[in-house]
Structure 1
Amino acid sequence: MALPSLATTQTEPGSPPPARTLRSVPDGFVPAPLRLLQTAERLGKHPAYFVREAQGWQATSWQDYAQEVRQAARALLSLGVQPGQAVAILGFNRPEWAVMAFAAMAIGALPAGIYWTSSTKDIEHVLSHSGAPVLLVDNEERLTKALACRERVPSLQHVALMKLQGPAPAGTLGWEAFMARGQGSSLDAELDLRLAAIRAEDTGSLIYTSGTTGPSKAVVLTHGNLSWTAATLRHTVAATEHDRVLSYLPFAHIAEQLGCLHNQACSGFTVYFARTMEELGDHLKEVHPTIFFGVPRVWEKMQAAIEDKLKQATGFKAVMARWALGVGREWHAQVLEGHTPGFSLRLQKRLASRLVHDKVKTALGFDQARLLISGAAPIAPDKLRFFTGLDLVVRELYGQSEACGPSTLSLEGQTRLGSVGKALPGTQIRIADDGEVLIRGPHIFQGYGGQPEATREALEGEWLRSGDLGHIDAQGYLFITGRKKDLIITSGGKNVSPGNIEAALMDTPLVEHAVACGDGRHFLTALITLDNAALSAFAQAQGLPGNVDLHEHPAVLKALQQAVDHVNEQQARVAHIRKFAVLRQAFTIEGGELTATMKVKRKVVIDRHASVIDGLYASAAADRPA
C-alpha cells in the first residue's frame, strides 16, 4: 500500500495523494481501527458515545460501536473503495462521522474531513484534490453544496448521508441504505485482510489545513504518526474509560480528530457528541466532562459571560465574589511557581471554594473536570489568570496539523501562564537562529499531498519548520511569540510580531478582534471589531441612547483609545499602535475572515480592508505639519 514519495511526485487531478517513507516506525505500533476493536473487546457494554436526543443523552456501547465500524467498512468494500483512496466526510460532529472515518482506515483507505463551514468552492477543492470516490454528508444544506460541484469531480462516485429525516434524494444513499450494503459476513475475510495489511508508513488520514493564507493543503499523516501520538497523549494525561469528553470542534481539524477519534480508541473514554455549537454551555452542565479542550475564543466567551454575571452582583455577593477571585488568583500564583501556600491562604482557599468556587464550577459544568486545555491559537495570559481566580487552571497545548496535533502540553506541576508547556515525551524542540520553532519526533507529518515544493519548505531534514517564533527558558518551557509569516517589517526595517499586540487588544473589554497592520509603513495601525455584548453593556452604563451609531460614538472611541494607550505602554515604541479603525462588520467563519477554529485570517482581513488601512496612513500624513 505504499505510494510514491511526496517529495518527488505530483498527483494528477482525481488521484490520491502519495505517502512518504516514515522516518521512524513507533514501537508497539497498532493502527487506530484495530486499536478501536481491541478497546471494544475490552470494554464491551461500557458506553463508547452518547448522542443528545429530545429525551436526553442516548448511549451506544463499545461493542455496538465496533459492530457499526465493521459494517460500514464492509459497505465501503461493497462500493469498491481501494487501499490508499480517500473517503471524504462533510458535516458536524456525529457518530456517523466517526464510524465512517474508522471504517475507511480499517480497509486501508483514509478519511478526508471537510469543514462544515466550507463553501462550495472549498468542498470541490477537497473532493478534487483527494480524489475521493465516496462522500458522506450530514444535512440538506451541505448536501446541496456538494451536489452543486459533483459534475466537476468525476472521481466522486457515491454520496451517502448521515441519519436524516425523510427519504434520501435521488442519486444518494441514506445511512440505512449505505449500512445495509455491509450486512452479513461475506466481506469479513476481505476486511480482516485489509486490516491486517495496514503498516505504520501507510497514510492514515488527510487533514486539510484551514487555509489562513490560501487554498487548503492536504497534510498527510501516517498510521504510525497517529498511533504514536494517541498512545503518547494517553499516557501523558492518564486518560481511561472513566473519563468523559465533549466533542464539538470540527472533526476535520486535527485537534478534534486526534482527541475524539484516535485518543478515544486508545484510551476508551466516553465521547458526548454536541448537538450544536450554540448548545455547548448547556451540554457542559449536562455532561460534566472530566477533560475539556477549548480554543481561545471559547474561553474568552466564557470569561465574558462570567464577568457579566459578576457585574450584576450587588452587596455582600459582589464583595464575596471579588474576594474569592483574589484568593483563587493568589493561591494559584503561588502553586504554579512551585510554592506551598501558607496556613492563612489555605484557610481562605477552603472558605472561598465552599462559598464561591465550587458553585461556579458546578454552574459551568466543570465541577468534575481534571484537565482543562486551551489550544489551536494563542491565548492571553490574563485570560488564563482570570480562570485561576475561579480555581480553574486552563493549561495550554501547542501543536499543528503537521505535527499530528500536540507537541507540547502544560500539566499539573508543569504549568506556567504564558508558556505552552514542555515538549511531549519523545518530542524534540529547538529554536533556529532566526527564532523559528523547530520540532522533531515520530508525529511529524510526511508532507503535503501533491505539493513537493511546499513539503521541502516545511521540512529541514527530520525537523518541522513550525512557522512560529518562540523561545525556550532554562526549565524547558516553550513560549510562542508570534508567526514568522505574520512579521511586520516597518519601512525603518524594524521587525514587529503582531500576535502579542493583537492578543492584548482583544483582552480589553470592547474589542472582539484586532489586526495590527504596518508592513512597509513607518508606524503601526490596527483594525478593530467590537464585541456586541460588551458594546451594549457599555452603552447602558454610559447612558447612551439606543438610536446612536455606537461604532463611531465619541465615548466608545475614547474608551478604545484608552485601551490602545494601555496596550502601547506594554510594548516597545516601534510596536505602538498610532491609529486604529473600527470595522462595523464582525469577523465570521462564514464570511471567510476566521478559520474553523476561530483564528483570524490576517491576510484576508488586510486585503479586504486595504482602503481603510490606506486611509489611516493618509490621515496621519495629513495631520503632519507642512
Structure 2
Amino acid sequence: MSGSKLETGMPPLSAAESARPWPSPSTNAREQDLQLPVFTDFIAPPLKLFETASRLADKPAYWVRGEHDWQASTWQDYATQVRQAARSLLALGVEHGDAVAILSFNRPEWSVTAYAAMSIGAIPVGIYWTSSTADIEYILNHCKAPVLVLEDEDRFACVQDCAERLNHLRHIVQIKGTPQHIDNRQAMTWQDFMVQGQGSKEADYERLINKRLAAIQPHDTGTLIYTSGTTGPSKAVMLSQGNLWWVANAMGDLFHVDENDRMISYLPLAHIAEQMATMHNQVYGGFAVYFAQSIEKLGDHLKEVKPTIFFGVPRVWEKMQVAIEAKLAQATGFKAQLAKWALQVGQRWNMQDLAGLQPSLWLTLQKNLANKLIYKKVQEALGFDQARLLVTAAAPISPESLRFFTGLNIHVREGYGQSEACGPSTLSLPGQTKIGAVGKALPGTEIRAAEDGELLIRGPHIFHGYMGQPAATAQTIVDDWLLTGDLGHVDEDGYVYITGRKKDLIITSGGKNISPANIEASLMDSHLIEYAVVCGDGRNYLTALLTLETQGLVDFAKAHGLPVTPDLHKHPAVQAALQKAIDHTNELQARVAQVRKFAILTEPFSIEGGELTPTLKVKRKVVLERQQALINALYAN
C-alpha cells in the first residue's frame, strides 16, 4: 500500500512517527521560539456561537434544501445541537487536545461537529470529501483522531478499505444511512451519536463543557487544515483560536455583515476559505448559511437563494462567463447591438469608478438605461440581483474576466490568501479596487516583497506551525514573517500583485525566469480552454498543454456548422481558434514568455483523477509527470 500513498502525494507514517506524541495544542514549536500576537478582547469562537445564538435565537442560522423547498433551523436550534454533540464527544472519551475528524460534503452536521469539538478543547480536522483512501488513512493516522464523523456509505467504504491500518480511530459516526461495524471500533448513526451524552451523566458533561469553554486560550489550536498538496505531501496547518477569532472580526468590520445577509456553502469545508465563511464569519456576523446539495446544483441554488454574499474560485466565474457569452452570441440584429453597447457602457463606467474618477452625467445616464434593459435581467438570471459582495480568490483569474463582469455591472472583487494566514491576506474593497491587483493587506497586517520577489506577510492571522513538522515550520515562518511561496510586488499605493508560485517558476535554457500562472489564466480566458499548463523548464521556448471546455466546444461546433464528434478537437477550425487564443495571450507577454506550441489533452482534469485540488487548482507536478512523453514530443523538432 505504500506505493499508492506515494502516488497520491501522501507518504506513509513510519512506526516511530505514528507513536510519537506531537506538541500539545497550546505549546508548539512556534510558541516556544517566537513572540505571538496579543489578542485583545478575545472571545473563543464557540463562545461567540452561543452568544450569537442567544442574541438571534429565533432567526434562521442555516437552511437545508429539502425535496421541494429550503428548510430553516434557528440559531437556538444550532446552539442546542452543538451542546448536544459536545456532550456526546465527552461520552465517547474525547479529551482536551484530541482531534475529531470530519469527512463529508457541506452540511449542518459538519459545523455542529466542529464547534462541538472546539467547545470541549478538542480540534476539528476536516478531510476533503473527494479524498482517496490513502489520503484518508494518512490524515487519520497523522492527527490521531479517535472519532471520525463521515457522511455516507461511500465515505464509509473508503475508511473500511484502510481500517486495519488506522492506529488511533475508535469511533465512527455516519450521518446518512446505517454504518457497518469495523473490527473492534464502535460505529453508529448520527442520531445514536447525538444521544450518547444523555442520561445520568448529562449534568456532569454540561459542567465539563462550561469549564473547558472558559479555559480556551487564544493560542490554543482551534483547527487543523490539511493543505491540498499542489506541490507535495499535505501538511497540517495549526490555526489558533485567536487566528480564527481575529480574522472573523476583521472580515465583519470590513464588510458590515449581519443577520440580513445570506450565503451558500458549497466549496469544501476542509478548506480554510469555506470554513471561515460558513462557520466563523457567520457566527460573528449572524447571517444565514444555505448548505448546497452539491456543486452541480449551485446554479439552481443561486437563483433560489439570491445570496447577498458569494465566494467563487476562478473556475466558477469563468464557467459563468462562458455561459453568459454563449447566450449573448445567440443574439442577432438589434439585440446583439444592444448587448454590445451595454457591455461597453458598463466597462467604461466601472473602470472610471474603480479608478476613483467621477463618470460623466451622459455615461451615467447610459449606464442607468443599460441597467434596466440588460444588467438587471442578467443578474436575476444568475441569482446575483441582491448580491452586495462577490469575491474571487484561491487561484489566479484573468483581468479580462473581471472586466467582462464589470460590463454587466457585476463587481467581482479579487482577494488573496492561504491556509497559513487563516484565509485572507488581502482584499479588494469598494473604493480600493484595481483590476489585476488582489487588493491591499488586511488592516493590522503587513505585506512586503523580499529581494527575490517572494511575498512575506506578518500579522495576528499567521498560523502557529505545521503539526509535527518543526523543520517545515522554521522554513516557512522567519522572524514572524510568513514566507508565502508566492511571487509578486506591492505598488506605491499598497496594492498587491501576484505573478505566480515560486516553486512553479520556469527557468528556460537561456536562464530566463518565467512565472506560468498569469499566462495560464490568460489562456483559460478562451471559451474553448478549460485548463492550461505551460511547460518549458530547461527548454528554449514555452509550450502549453490544454484541456477543452466541453460546452464551449459544443457551442463552437454549432456556431460553425460542425458535427459534434469525438475528434472535434482535431478539426482545423478548432485548431485555428485555439491558435488565435494563444496569439492573443502572446501579445500580452514578452517574447521569451510566448507560447510557441500546444497540445490538447483528450481526458479532462478532475479531482478524482488527481489532476485538480478540491478547490479546482491544477496540480502542475502531477500533470507534468503524467504527460512527460507528450511534452517531450512538443520539443522533438
Structure 2 length as normaliser, TM-score? Answer: 0.94
SS of match in other structure, 1:265: helix
Distance (whole Å) between structure 2 residues aligned to residue 125 and residue 56 of structure 1: 39
Q: Distance in 2 between matches of 1:400 and 1:180?
A: 38
1:127 is aligned to 2:145: no
Aligned to 2:91: 78
Q: Secondary structure at the match of 2:635?
A: helix
Per the alignment, residue 126 of structure 2 pairs with 113
Of 531, 548, 551, the residue aligned with 1:513 is: 531
Residue 11 of structure 2 aligns with which residue? none
Give structure 2 stretches of 5+ with no counterpart: 1-15
- Distance of 2:23 and 2:271 partners within structure 1: 18
1:615 is aligned to 633
The answer to whether the 8 A contact 1:470-1:479 is kept is: yes
Write the distance in 2 (CA, Å) between the matches of 1:36 and 1:589: 33
Conservation of the 8 A alpha-carbon contact between 1:292 and 1:371: yes
Partner Cα distance (1:94, 1:172) in 2: 20
How far off is 1:11 after superposition? 5.8
SS of corresponding position for 2:599 = strand
1:305 aligns with 2:320: no
CA distance in 2, matches of 1:476, 1:571: 25
Q: CA RMSD in A?
A: 1.3
Q: Which moved more, 1:565-574 or 1:60-69?
A: 565-574
Compute the displacement of 1:474 (Å). 1.1
Name the CA distance, whole Å, in 1 between partners of 2:540 and 2:62: 55
Post-superposition Cα deviations, 1:192-242, rounded to whole Å, max 9, x if no partner, equal: 111111111111000000110222110010111111111111101111111
| TM superposition shift of 1:553 | 2.1
Aligned equivalents of 2:23, 2:310: Cα separation in 1: 33
Q: Paired residue for 1:67?
A: 80
Matched, 1:358 2:376: yes
Question: Which residue in 2 is equivalent to 1:623?
Answer: none
Equivalent of 2:254 in 236, 241, 250: 236
Say if 1:474 and 1:161 are closer, same or farther in 2 by CA, change over 3 A: same
**1:547 offset after TM fit, Å?**
4.0
- Cα pair distance change 1:552/1:17, threshold 3 Å: farther
Contact 1:13 1:128 (8 Å CA) reproduced: no
**Partner of residue 389 from structure 1, selected from 404, 407, 422:** 407
Which whole-Å CA distance do the structure 2 matches of 1:417 and 1:467 have between them?
Answer: 22
Distance 2:566 2:72 in 1: 51
Counterpart CA distance in 1 for 2:425 and 2:300 is 31
The amino acid across from 2:425 in the alignment is S
Q: Once the 2 structures are TM-superposed, how far is the Cα of residue 540 of structure 1 from its aligned partner?
A: 2.2
- In structure 1, the gaps of 5 or more residues are 1-9, 621-626
How much does 1:355 deviate?
1.1
Distance 1:198 1:528 in 2: 50
CA distance in 2, matches of 1:459, 1:546: 52
Q: Which amino acid aligns with 2:241?
A: H
Contact 1:289 1:366 in 2 (8 A): yes
Aligned to 1:314: 332
**Aligned partners of 2:87 and 2:205 also within 8 Å:** yes
- Structure 1 residues 8-31: Cα deviation after superposition (integer angstroms, max 9, x where no partner): xx9644745644327113111111
What's 1:168 paired with? 179
Q: What is the alpha-carbon distance in structure 2 between the residues aligned to residue 509 and residue 301 of structure 1? A: 9
Instruction: Name 1:178's counterpart in structure 2.
Output: 193
**Aligned equivalent of 1:583:** 601
**Secondary structure of the residue that 2:343 maps to in structure 1?**
helix
Distance in 1, Cα, partners of 2:344 & 2:290:
34
Distance, in Å, in 2 between the alignment partners of 1:93 and 1:14 is 32
- Counterpart mapping for 1:424-443 below 5 A: 424-443=442-461
Residue among 30, 38, 43 paired with 2:43: 30
Q: How many angstroms does 1:586 deviate by? A: 0.7
Question: Contact (CA 8 Å) 2:18, 2:141: kept in 1 or not?
Answer: no
Aligned sequence identity (%):
60
CA distance in 1, matches of 2:173, 2:497: 44
Give per-residue Cα distances to partners, 1:547-576, cap 9 Å, x unaligned.
461222222222212221221121111111
| Corresponding residue number in structure 1 for 2:615 | 597
- 1:3 maps to none
CA distance in 2, matches of 1:169, 1:481: 49
For residues 99 and 548 of structure 1, what CA distance do their matches in structure 2 show?
46
Paired with 1:317 and 1:549, the residues of 2 have a C-alpha distance of 34
- Counterpart of 1:560 in structure 2 is 578
In the TM superposition, 1:2-401 aligns within 5 A as 12-13=18-19, 15=21, 18-19=24-25, 20=28, 21=31, 23-162=36-175, 164-165=176-177, 167-170=178-181, 171-183=186-198, 184-401=202-419
The letter of the residue matching 1:253 is H
Aligned pair count reads 608
Distance in 2 between residues matched to 1:408 and 1:611, nearest whole Å: 40
Matched to 1:538, the amino acid is F
Q: In structure 1, what is the Cα distance between the partners aligned to 2:631 and 2:50?
A: 56
Whole-angstrom CA distance in 1 between matches of 2:275 and 2:38: 21
Cα distance in 2 between the residues matched to 1:337 and 1:589: 39
CA contact (8 A) 2:568 2:574 kept: yes
Q: CA 1:245/1:545 → structure 2, altered by over 3 Å: closer, same or farther?
A: closer
* Cα pair distance change 1:547/1:498, threshold 3 Å: closer
Q: Distance in 2 between matches of 1:139 and 1:168?
A: 8
